[in-house]
Amino acid sequence: MHYEGMIIRPPSEANSILLQVTVGCSHNKCTFCGTYIGERFKIKSDAIIMEDIAFARVYCRRQRRVFLCDGDALIVPQKRLLKILKAIREQLPWVTRVGVYANTKSIQMKTPEELGDLREHGLGIAYMGLETGDDVTLKAVSKGATAQKMIQMGKKIRAAGIRLSITVLLGLAGRERSDVHARETGNVLTAIDPEFVGALSLMLVPGTPLGDDYEAGRFELLNADEMLKELRGMLENTHLTRGLFHANHASNYLPIKARMPRDKEKTLALINQALAGDISLKPEWMRAL
């Protein structure tokens, strides 16, 4: 396989075939993200992509999922993306699902009919970084979208029959707007009603604008208890028809996995137990991005 630069994928795609179709991120302006610092976004050549699919046909026969890397592969033009999906279906017939990162810009660029075509050709899940439902924080971290735009694009991709996994970031609003961040994020998640929510805890990356703000005293990083209180507030305000709410990423102090709405009250009680000191939290040295 031909890989360039930093390769990332969602935790749930750990056992997937990682097929890199783009290098970097089409947005690459979020102040908290250091993944693609200095990396110029590009779409890889069809020849290289097809060569990697041919490689997977021979050497990746035990893996039943494909994840299209990198930061926003949905932005690949429709004809080229369909060509990739068709090649996966023809050459890797045992693959049951293809996943991709998506942002509001790339979702908006696709018509509902185009998204439906992608679903028909195997695109089964999209991962979207909401991070926060607080418009003030979205602007501060240069996310490039409002909460309303997040809701519109989240609903759009779900309407096409593509499953949606949304990432939110605990601690992103700092101490002053923590309560607002928790409440408004829960409200946006409720409006979109995705199949999956993944909550990560902010870990500052040196060299990023947000990391620089922290070093200069312009940003306050929440402690473990404050992160848990924010998680509790977010979960309290999230009302999913049916879905999974995870906070079991390596960055989190308390791993949780709640099937909504069934496990909501039980999970809130677990968080309260941790805040009361009855459950041990993950030590700092064990946390990771």
pLDDT digits (tens, 9 = 90+) for 75-123: 999 999 999 999 999 999 999 999 999 999 999 999 999 999 999 999 9
For residue 225, is pLDDT > 80?
yes
CB 73 within 8 A of CB 37: no
Q: Using CA atoms, how far apart are residues 114 and 119, in angstroms rounded to an integer?
A: 9
Mean per-residue pLDDT, 123-148: 98
pLDDT over 90 (residue 124): yes
Helices (H), 110-203: 112-120, 135-140, 147-159, 178-192
Q: Measured between alpha carbons, how far is residue 129 from residues 104, 168, 282 in Å?
A: 9, 7, 24
Predicted pLDDT at 250: 87
Domain spans in the chain, listed from the N-terminal domain onward? 11-277
Instruction: Tell me the CA end-to-end span of the chain in Å, nearest whole number.
Output: 24
pLDDT, position 135? 98
pLDDT confidence band for 217 (50 / 70 / 90)? very high
Place of tokens 């993306």: 81
- Residue 51's pLDDT band, with cuts at 50, 70 and 90, is very high
Does 52 score more than 80 pLDDT?
A: yes
Residue 215, classified by CB atoms within 10 Å of its CB into exposed (0-12), middle (13-18) or buried (19+), is: exposed
pLDDT of residue 1: 93
pLDDT on residue 186: 98
Residues 174, 136 contacting (CB under 8 angstroms): no
Question: Mean pLDDT across the stretch 185-189?
Answer: 98
pLDDT at 289 over 80: no
* pLDDT at position 62: 95
The mean pLDDT value of the chain amounts to 96
The matching CATH number, chosen from 3.40.50.980, 2.60.40.1930, 3.40.50.970, 3.20.20.70, for 11-277 is 3.20.20.70
68-84 tens-digit pLDDT: 998 889 999 999 999 99
pLDDT of residue 286: 84
The share of the chain scoring above pLDDT 70, in percent, equals 100
